[in-house]
Amino acid sequence: MENPNILEQLIERATEYGKTSYDLFKLRTLEKVTDIFSTIIPNLVLFILFSMFMLFINLGLAFWIGDLLGKIYFGFLAVAGFYFVLAFIIRFLMYKWLKKVVGNYAIKKILN
């Protein structure tokens, strides 16, 4: 007589454990997603603001250099050349290091 009662309690507890585990999984997932978005959104805003700042600084620099060289387009060519050299250095000398740093940061954010 007591064995069916114990079996029912065991099934009930297992069901509760499953529901609790599922709820815990949902909450942990929500926490990770919230953490990721709460990091991405402010960084995205800062990136946009910094990009606008860099755009206007580069335009001003290009016009200034162009004025010094006598032709406006020489200033734009000089600024473009600078960025080409910078991109070349980053791509061929710092690419592996930069990839490692960004990958480690992403893994750290996801696992925390």
Query: What local confidence, expressed as pLDDT, does residue 46 receive?
Result: 95
pLDDT for position 2: 60
Conformational region of residue 71, where left means phi above 0, alpha means psi within -120 to 50, and beta covers everything else: beta
What is the C-alpha to C-alpha distance for residues 14 and 1, in angstroms, rounded to an integer? 21
Q: 39: which residues sit within 8 A by CB, 6+ positions away? A: 109
pTM (two decimals):
0.60
Contact 75, 66 (CB under 8 A): yes
pLDDT at 6: 84
pLDDT truncated to tens, each residue of the chain (112 aa)?
566 788 888 889 999 999 999 999 999 999 888 888 888 899 899 999 999 999 999 999 999 999 999 999 999 999 999 999 999 998 888 888 888 888 888 888 777 7
Q: Phi then psi for 94, rounded to 5 degrees?
A: -120, 5
Q: Which two tokens stand for residue 46?
A: 């800062």
